[in-house]
């Protein structure tokens, strides 16, 4: 495309000159710049509607609870549950550009929220016996599947798999210090973590060491 006013040739399928806005002449060809994807306005609208609905639900539940206090402060559980949900969803949305990083953050956030809820409801240790070991094990499985399916580069997944595996190995503390009565989930988690780390160190040793030096500035 050619602009008679600016005397310049413009590559792409422009109709008007980006400099003077005059109508261009000539034949359009492939653009030199990649096409930018449109903003996902529908997703933003859904999230805003969901956030507003959550706030309305919190207010309504609290008002009903104050008006009818005979059944205890059940609205606190509703509000805390919605806040917990949005913490998890918000973290995933913020870290969604790197899926494996988002998975690691979900493990941390959901585990912390589970411990909080366990303490808040009398601490029956279900968060330590089931949630944390299962989250770490599920995250390792999800990372392995995503890594193979998406054919990610080594630097895109090594460090996150190591972090999750180390977190899983720490579940051995639950067994050593006899913190939990049900140890099978923790045993499975520790076993999977050891196998995962062994596989990384044996088959990806050079890449892993290079990535650790780069990340730690060694």
Query: What ranges in the chain are assigned the alpha helix state H?
Result: 41-67, 74-94, 99-120, 126, 132-150, 154-169, 172-176, 184-203, 205-216
**What local confidence, expressed as pLDDT, does residue 38 receive?**
52
CA dihedral of 182, 188, 191, 197, whole degrees rounded to 10: -120
**What local confidence, expressed as pLDDT, does residue 92 receive?**
80
- Please give the model's pTM, rounded to 2 decimal places: 0.69
Report phi then psi at 63, rounded to 5.
-65, -45
Three-state secondary-structure class, residue 4:
coil
**What local confidence, expressed as pLDDT, does residue 107 receive?**
92
**Region at 72 (left for phi over 0; alpha for psi -120 to 50; beta for the rest):** left
**What local confidence, expressed as pLDDT, does residue 218 receive?**
59
The Cα–Cα gap between 27 and 7 comes to: 16
Strands 2-3 and 8-9: antiparallel
**What local confidence, expressed as pLDDT, does residue 40 receive?**
61
**What local confidence, expressed as pLDDT, does residue 114 receive?**
92
What six digits make up the tokens of 39? 């903003």
Q: Mind listing the pLDDT tens digit for each residue in 119-169?
A: 988 899 999 999 999 999 999 999 888 888 877 777 677 888 899 999 999
- Residues of the chain with confidence (pLDDT) below 70: 30-40, 96, 155, 217-218
Tokens 């892993």 -> residue:
208
């Amino acid at each position: 495309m050619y602009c008679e006013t600016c005397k310049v040739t413009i590559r792409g399928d422009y109709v008007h000159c980006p400099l003077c806005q005059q109508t261009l002449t000539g034949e359009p060809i492939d653009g030199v710049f990649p096409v930018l994807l449109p903003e996902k306005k529908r997703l933003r609208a859904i999230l805003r509607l969901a956030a507003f609905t959550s706030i309305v639900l919190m207010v309504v539940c609290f008002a009903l609870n104050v008006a009818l206090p005979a059944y205890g402060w059940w609205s606190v559980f509703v509000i805390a549950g919605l806040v917990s949900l949005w913490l998890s969803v918000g973290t995933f949305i913020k870290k969604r550009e790197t899926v494996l990083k988002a998975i690691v953050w979900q493990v941390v956030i959901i585990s912390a929220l589970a411990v909080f809820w366990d303490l808040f409801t009398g601490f029956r240790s279900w968060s330590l016996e089931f949630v944390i070991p299962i989250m770490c094990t599920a995250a390792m499985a999800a990372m392995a599947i995503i890594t193979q399916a998406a054919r990610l580069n080594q630097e895109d997944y090594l460090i996150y798999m190591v972090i999750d595996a180390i977190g899983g190995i720490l579940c051995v503390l639950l067994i050593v210090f006899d913190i939990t009565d049900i140890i099978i989930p923790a045993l499975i988690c520790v076993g999977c973590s050891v196998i995962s780390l062994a596989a990384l160190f044996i088959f990806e040793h050079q890449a892993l060491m290079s990535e650790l030096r780069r990340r730690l500035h060694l």
